[in-house]
Amino acid sequence: MEIQTFPNEIVFFDLETTVPNKPGQHFHILEFGAIIVCPRKLEELESFTTLIQPKDLSVVSLRSSRSDGITRAKVTDAPSFKDVADKIYGLLNGRIWAGHNIRRFDCVRIKEAFAEIGKAAPEPSGIIDSLGLLSDKFGKRAGNMKMASLAAYFGLGVQKHRSLDDVRMNLEVLKHCATVLFFESTLPNQLEGKWQSSSKIMTRSRSNYQIAQRAMPYSKGSLGKMTQNVKNLLSKAQGNQALQSLIKHSHSLLR
């Protein structure tokens, strides 16, 4: 029977695993989460997440330092990887894989897990690793390239280190980075590189109505000029349907 593939769909996925603390120990998958995304509209078409019980429950901590972390009690009654392997295979195989640091971590762990149960691992039609992509295109203006730092930079909340939450955060981070890079590519002389000399200005937090310090990607005194440049860009966009569509999408992200 021919296996159906979806080469033009993107699947963002993330794994939560144990962390080896002794020589010879291996990573054990504790949770898998994925969303399938339409690359044209960035719409979430499907989602799936499951906790996974490792063969040896003793490798899972009894407690977690995170409020919603994965503990031994949470995975005790979870399915094994073998139980959910067919579902995971169907989500991943033949699609474009996307995630943060997936080339060096998640892709390797998936192949190991399928090899352990004696099944062929899924294959991607392409890979988008946002760690490498953003390191090259966006730079370290957010500090480091960890998902938590990028999310904090854009005010997207705190990374929960749960698979489904993290892949959705990953997509939102990419949307925000793409919007910034779009503006910079349109007005390179005015916007590009301003983040390198970023300064802190006072902004009002909508969550608690307190004044907070936030690093902004422009130098002091340039906010008015930047605002005018963006207004000029929007004015030039009149009549350009493709540009108008992208700006409309960008505006929805920045509200």
- What single-letter DSSP state applies at residue 52? -
Instruction: Give a yes or no: residue 225 inside a domain.
Output: no
The answer to whether residue 200 is domain-embedded is: no
DSSP 8-state symbol, 62: S
Poorest-pLDDT segment among 14-18, 51-55, 177-181, 204-208: 204-208
pLDDT > 70: percent of the chain: 72
Average pLDDT over the chain reads 81
230 domain residue, yes or no: no
Alpha helices by DSSP H, the chain: 72-75, 81-92, 107-116, 130-137, 147-153, 163-186, 188-191, 223-236, 241-254
Look at residue 214 and tell me if it is in a domain.
no
Inside any domain, residue 213: no
Is the pLDDT at 250 greater than 90? The verdict is no
Question: What range defines the domain where residue 143 resides?
Answer: 10-190
Active-site residue, from 26, 161, 176, 249: 161
In a domain, 37, yes or no: yes
Within a domain: residue 226? Answer: no
Instruction: Find residue 214's DSSP bridge partners.
Output: 201
Residue 241 inside a domain? The answer is no
Nearest to 107 by CA among 91, 90, 121, 95: 121
Number of folded domains that form the chain: 1
Res 156: pLDDT: 96
The residue among 28, 84, 27, 75 whose CA lies nearest residue 53 is 75
User: What is the domain-level CATH number for residue 57?
Assistant: 3.30.420.10
Assign 233 a pLDDT band (cuts: 50, 70, 90). Answer: low
CA distance 235 to 157: 33
Query: How confident is residue 66, by pLDDT bands cut at 50, 70 and 90?
Result: confident
Tens digits of residue pLDDT in 89-135: 999 999 999 999 999 999 999 999 999 999 999 999 999 999 999 99
Q: Is residue 249 annotated as a catalytic residue, yes or no?
A: no
Average pLDDT over residues 45-58: 96
Whether the Cβ atoms of residue 129 and residue 99 lie closer than 8 Å to each other: yes
